[in-house]
Structure 1
Amino acid sequence: LDVRKEIFLVIASKQNLFIMFNLYFSLLMIILLIDDYIQLNKKINSKFKTHK
């Protein structure tokens, strides 16, 4: 019974690590996308300014 409990705890902690990693990775991707979007907006804005 104790062995099963320990195995369960190990699996649970691994799943938690996996979930945390996924969340971190998702956050990183969102930050990169936002950064790309801001850079793109700056480029577009500067192009419009030069046309005016």
Structure 2
Amino acid sequence: MPFRERRERRKLSATLSDLSDGELMDIGTTRGEIDYVAAYRGIDPRGIRSCE
């Protein structure tokens, strides 16, 4: 994995971790899904496709 991608993943993970549980719910994720969301930004962890 390229350095830039790892850095962006860590930054996104830290940003999401700073959100409250309510804010995470507002964007449709949970605290337990943060690492997954950071790693696979284009894929919904619940299998729901986003509008593309």
Query: Could you tell me the TM-score, scaled by structure 2's length?
Result: 0.36
Structure number with the bigger relative contact order (C-alpha 8 A, sep ≥ 6) is: 2
Q: Where is the helix percentage greater, Structure 1 or Structure 2?
A: 1
Answer with 1 or 2: which has the greater Rg: 1
